[in-house]
Amino acid sequence: MTLIRLGYVAMSVELKNSSPSQTMTYNQFEKISDRNMAMKKLERIAESNLKNCLRLLKHNLAHDIYFFRFSSKLIPLATHEELIDWKYMRAIKSDLIALGEFIEKHQMRVDFHPDHFVILNSTKEDILKASLNNLKLFYYLLKGMGLNPEQRCVMHVGGGYKDKETALENFIENWSNIQRQIQQMIMLENDDKTFTLKDTLYICEKLGVPLVFDYHHHLANNDGEDWTSEWDRVVNTWNNTTFPIKMHISSPKSESQFRYHADYVDPQMFLKFLKEIDGSIPQIDCMIEAKQKDHALFRLMRDLEATGAIEKIDGASFTLK
């Protein structure tokens, strides 16, 4: 019997005025004539984002949600090349410590998902450099929280560049030049356009990286293979980690927009997946990637209960009957 634990992404629909992604563009920054004042405003935005993160985690605790993805936009302009003199970690130190203490106290699992422009298989030095700077930001934030950064950042393989085999090898080649602490932070997921489950398994097995299985992405992008025949390989990529296996669950918006995420998760689609893997692992953490965020999680729990197929443990976890 497998314990299934649900989480959601970055923002709450239920908790008002709690955005962790408030931002400032560099154009807005430049319009403030006093550079020090502009940096102070950036710091206030960052502090507000982190305080809202803590509000979100408290909201999650009240609903038994122990699995959460941070926004990738917590610290606006932190990696901008014109702001390398900004010592943002000093300003947010106490807020990071408060977050880390709360996470540790309640044994929550948190991670990041970089934006689409963070690409590790690029052959362009400037893109690779910018990507690594973004990953270093997440590393510093996790360290500032007092959390072990290992297996805290899930990302796609990158671009296909009209030659998928070469693009895979570019990832492997670039990997050897990436700092060890950043390597250890990374998990990879199969994507909905280019790199299938088998492609991603190839890299994960070769480099010792955990694979986050995205069920919706697999349905949208596969070479006709049955994912169940690869499930043991997915499980084995997690052998050297301290976390339970992680996967992503979402539903297509429509047949014509199959790759896009729907507002909610189809419970029957989810149950079909869960019945295939039930008993193969002790626990799986399922990240809901639905437009309605925590509201989608609450609705999914209600829908699953209504099917009579689950044994509810708490507000966000269950087993199959």
Q: Is residue 40 part of a domain?
A: no
Beta strands at 109-111 and 67-69: parallel, antiparallel or unpaired: parallel
CA–CA separation, 198 and 249 (whole Å): 18
- The per-residue pLDDT for 52 is 98
Q: Structural domain of residue 150, as residue ranges?
A: 3-19+109-320
Residue 218: the pLDDT is 98
How many other CB atoms are there within 10 angstroms of residue 279's CB atom? 10
Q: What is the rounded distance in angstroms from the CA atom of residue 67 to the CA atom of residue 285?
A: 7
Is 86 within a domain? no
Q: What is the pTM of this model?
A: 0.96
Residue 138, domain member (yes or no): yes
8 Å CB contact between 72 and 111: no
Q: Are the beta carbons of 315 and 63 closer than 8 angstroms?
A: yes
**Across the 321 residues of the chain, what is the mean pLDDT of every consecutive 10-residue run?**
98 96 96 94 97 98 98 96 93 97 98 95 95 97 98 96 95 96 98 97 98 98 95 97 97 95 98 98 98 98 98 98 96
Residue 64 lies in a domain: no
Per-residue confidence (pLDDT) for residue 107, from 0 to 100: 98
**Counted domains in the chain:** 1
In a domain, 67, yes or no: no
- CA angle at 166 for the pair 165 and 172, rounded to the nearest 5°: 100
Which residues fall within 8 angstroms of residue 165, CB to CB, at 6 or more apart? none
Q: Does residue 88 fall inside a structural domain?
A: no
The CATH code of the domain that includes 290 is 3.20.20.150
- The verdict on residue 287 lying in a domain is yes
* Residue 236 lies inside a defined structural domain of this protein: yes
